[in-house]
Structure 1
Amino acid sequence: MRSTTRALLGLATVFAALVPLSPATAAPAAPVPAAADVPPGAPAPRTVAPGLVIDDDFPDPDVFAEGGTHWAYSTSSRHGRVPYATAPGPDGPWAVRGDAMPTAPAWTGGGGFWAPDVSRRADGRYLMYFTGPDRASGRMCLGAALAASPAGPFAATSDRPLVCDPGEGGAIDPSSFVDSDGSRYLLYKNDGNAVGRPAILWLQRVAANGTTFIGSRAELLRNNLPSEDGVIEAPVLVKRPSHYVLFYSAGVYSTPDYQTGYAVSRSLTGPYTRAYRPLMTTASLDGAVSGPGGADIGDGRVFFHGARPAGGRGLYVAQLGWDGDLPVVRGSRVRHEAERGALHRAAVRQTPSASQGAVAAGIDHADSWVDLTVFAAGPGAHTLHIGYAAGYGAAQHALSVNGRRVGTVDYPDRGWENWTEVSVPVRLTAGHNTVRLQFLSRWAELDYVEVA
């Protein structure tokens, strides 16, 4: 958004996520120790911004809680075909325990197993969906396995894949979803990226056993957005009071461009509309996590992987909040500009000057201000990030939060054509907060506001 006057014009929306302090003023948060480094009996760490809770190769995590224990499963690694880990709570401490599927299904050949998903069936048994190398087609395909315990051992339900169409590139990244009426569904991606065909996220209803299909599948989303590098995968579905939220990963997983996005629909089968900005990117996390993806949702948390300097992808956990049934990840910036449609209206009090007229007025007079409604997933210290341009000398705004004056925002004069950002610390309560910027001196043209 680029306005032509030195005022806050058209800034209609601020939808704020919690993020660490600006990288220019704060170091990345210290990682949570790996499970192997946590002394026995140590209290579970409290995750605020993204915390590295398994500092080992543990990609494509799936997490669920059962019997006072949290269980996590990952893509194949040195720990086994389907490594699993446990913790007393979502934030850890996590310990990698071993392999939940020590025996390979008959239909699989050599190679790794990807993106497992474990859920409990109504009969008390545990169902695992997984991606495995199909010996017959040479493609990655979906299988199912059962166990009496979340720890396994999981045994395949069939000597054939559950979903495998080589002409579509095979199938990967399964996940389960149970709707509010108890109906069960399987989500997955046909791996069109492997064969130069469309890659589509599919929804297939299944019976209570999770392996008998009911009706035909429905397309939810496909790889038609250039900014996602032609790749979408890792679907996870959540139902909120007003709509369904489809989380997915996009981009090339081995690069910092890998990201987590989401789309919403009032109907289970769509159409789904992508959010204007991704939920988590390397940039939105201020570089604290590289290539955040493979996300799973639960317990007021988002679990995801990110690249490790030592190699592989570690397991991260971050706090998740909901503002108007839209997700907010603590640690990831979210910015909504006026022209993209308002979630919260900014109330502007202004006194027009004779030179400007009533249309081009803003906070450049003693009795003018702007109130911004921002959302915080949790209470505590945050940072207000403001994109601006200023000329004719440095400008200032008085800063208030929830009706209390808390400081001053200084806008150094960088010239009107040089857009830059200033960052100011604030403390917010959980949920919605009112942030006021009020005139103090001179003029600053504001472009966006984010809350960290």
Structure 2
Amino acid sequence: MRRVLALLAAALVAAPLFASAPAAAAATTPAALVIGSDFPDPDVLKVGATYHAYSTNNGNGNVPVATATSLTGPWTRRADALPTLGAWATGGRTWAPDVTQRADGRYVLYYTALSRAVGRQCIGAALATSPLGPFAPVGTGPLVCNGGEGGDIDASSFVDGTGLRYLLYKDDGNAIGQPTNLWLQRVAADGVTLQGARVELLRNDRAEEGGIIEAPVLTKVGERYVLFYSLGGYGGDGYQSSYATSTALTGPYTKAYRSLLTTASVDGSVRGPGGADVVREAGGDHIVFHGWINNYSARGMYVAALGWSGGYPVVRGSRVRYEAERGALHNCAPRSTATASQGQAVAYLDYADSWVDVAVFAPRAGAYTAHVAYSAGYGDATQTLTVNGAAAQVVSYPNTGWETWRQVAVPVTLNAGVNTLRLTHRDRWAELDFIEVA
């Protein structure tokens, strides 16, 4: 009877738009701001027990560098890693460095700078015997420089399981009104000799990208290659980090349905998260990225825990959405509605044995926040929530009216890995759209 009355009511009025009112619960663990001054486009390399971080140029040099014995700091700034640019380059626009170690123990620095001859940003290389430098430029010209595609920027390195080396970068097509592509280029063991033809991995083709994809970083998890990249204009809250995956190094790569890190997904704890790098190590993986600080006057460096759910990245503190209708349902059923996320919600949760099980993933054990999207008609409703079968807590849903979806924030404690959240009918009536876990 409840659903019949609700559907009649919905037919008499236009369905309101989805309204999201997330609450900031204390359980959420946000990314840590570890360098609270300008340090954009961070690249992190661990040598022995010391982490080395490199950034886009600022008042601390062409390639600012900092060191720490822990990713969370404290970080100590060091001397400019690249005090002298290659003869082909002019200063002031040395972007997005990447440092990798060769088999012979020497270090290769890739950097972006403005080419005197081409008038576009191009990629150069430099060598040093220490990760702190000073790095000496290699050759008389840039390593990659194609003015016809707007120049080339944002180099990063990847070494496969057999020791073969690759260079990833972006052509700067958006600078000249052309499509932007991410490329993979094989390089010799010296890191500075290009081998064979480059391969296109990804190009901008989504509205939210604003014509821009950049900052490629590649890693492999099991049999899956994961290509991280940034998108959108870097100058504000719209900048974000996403990823694409493939079972082959050269693709094809499939973009994630939603971005991994956005200002909204971290509930505003970081503004414009982008320029990400991934730190893989036995004690647990992390993602390192920049975000705006000091009233958008600088970009600081942030660190967050990173985990892998079936080979896909999950960042602690950034919301991941789990559709309720894709969970295990008992004595309830999905209902199609254009007002819900992905067109369905779970309805008929009307009985003592009506419940929904949703499997969620946690990169680390500890405290999280579950944001439950619901709709409630005919008064306030309640359900009980259990995590992995432990003691239940009551979740309260203030009345919204059917087809108006809102969120309630519930603190939960999760194990590392997959956890089961069960929501069970308790009092009156509520429908479930999704759960987001941060």
* Aligned pair partner of 1:119 in 100, 106, 123: 100
Provide Cα deviations, 1:217-264, integer angstroms capped at 9, x if missing partner. 000001111111110000000111131000000000011100000000
Structure 1 match to 2:288: 303
Aligned mates of 2:211, 2:122 — CA distance in 1 = 20
Provide Cα deviations, 1:20-73, integer angstroms capped at 9, x if missing partner. xx96345799xxxxxxxxxxxxxxxxxx53011001110000001002100000
Aligned mates of 1:50, 1:417 — CA distance in 2 = 34
Aligned mates of 1:371, 1:27 — CA distance in 2 = 24
TM-score (norm 2): 0.89
Aligned mates of 2:300, 2:184 — CA distance in 1 = 28
Aligned mates of 1:88, 1:62 — CA distance in 2 = 16
The 5 A counterparts of 1:231-270 are 231-270=212-251
Structure 2 residue identity aligned to 1:24: A
Is 2:199 the partner of 1:218?
A: yes
* Aligned pair partner of 2:183 in 202, 225, 247: 202
Tell me: CA distance 1:328–1:143, structure 2 relative to 1, closer, same or farther (3 Å): same
The 5 A counterparts of 1:122-201 are 122-201=103-182
Structure with larger RCO (C-alpha < 8 A, sep 6+): 1
Tell me: CA distance 1:361–1:105, structure 2 relative to 1, closer, same or farther (3 Å): closer
Query: Does the 8 Å contact 1:174/1:188 carry over to 2?
Result: yes
Structure 2 residue identity aligned to 1:370: V
Structure 2 match to 1:90: 71
Aligned mates of 2:347, 2:317 — CA distance in 1 = 34
Query: Does the 8 Å contact 1:265/1:272 carry over to 2?
Result: yes
User: How far off its partner does 1:171 sit?
Assistant: 0.3
Query: Does the 8 Å contact 2:324/2:433 carry over to 1?
Result: no
The structure with more strand, counted as a fraction of residues = 2
Structure 2 residue identity aligned to 1:309: N
User: Which deviates more from structure 2 when the two are superposed, residues 307-316 or residues 281-290?
Assistant: 307-316
Mark the runs of 5 or more structure 2 residues left unpaired by the alignment. Answer: 8-20, 334-345
Tell me: CA distance 1:5–1:234, structure 2 relative to 1, closer, same or farther (3 Å): farther
User: How far off its partner does 1:428 sit?
Assistant: 1.1
Helix, strand or coil at the partner of 1:263: strand
Structure 2 residue identity aligned to 1:246: L
Aligned mates of 2:80, 2:97 — CA distance in 1 = 12
Aligned mates of 1:239, 1:217 — CA distance in 2 = 19
Structure 2 match to 1:230: 211
Aligned mates of 1:402, 1:69 — CA distance in 2 = 38
Aligned mates of 1:204, 1:147 — CA distance in 2 = 22
Structure 1 residue identity aligned to 2:130: S
User: How far off its partner does 1:111 sit?
Assistant: 2.5
Structure 2 match to 1:411: 397
Mark the runs of 5 or more structure 1 residues left unpaired by the alignment. Answer: 8-21, 30-47, 340-344, 353-359
Structure 2 residue identity aligned to 1:66: V
Structure 1 match to 2:437: 451
Provide Cα deviations, 1:134-162, integer angstroms capped at 9, x if missing partner. 01111000000000000100011111000
Structure 1 residue identity aligned to 2:378: Y
Helix, strand or coil at the partner of 1:193: helix
Runs of 4+ in structure 1 off by over 6 angstroms are: 3-7
Structure 1 residue identity aligned to 2:365: P
User: How far off its partner does 1:363 sit?
Assistant: 2.1
Is 2:5 the partner of 1:24?
A: no
Helix, strand or coil at the partner of 1:109: strand
Provide Cα deviations, 1:384-429, integer angstroms capped at 9, x if missing partner. 1111111012111111111112301111111113221111111111
Aligned mates of 2:435, 2:247 — CA distance in 1 = 29
Tell me: CA distance 1:417–1:227, structure 2 relative to 1, closer, same or farther (3 Å): same
Query: Does the 8 Å contact 1:6/1:444 carry over to 2?
Result: no
* Aligned pair partner of 1:289 in 246, 249, 270: 270
Tell me: CA distance 1:6–1:147, structure 2 relative to 1, closer, same or farther (3 Å): farther
How high is the sequence identity, in percent, across the aligned residues? 58
User: How far off its partner does 1:6 sit?
Assistant: 7.9
* Aligned pair partner of 1:106 in 84, 87, 90: 87
* Aligned pair partner of 2:361 in 375, 378, 384: 375
Provide Cα deviations, 1:79-116, integer angstroms capped at 9, x if missing partner. 00100000002221111112001112111124320000
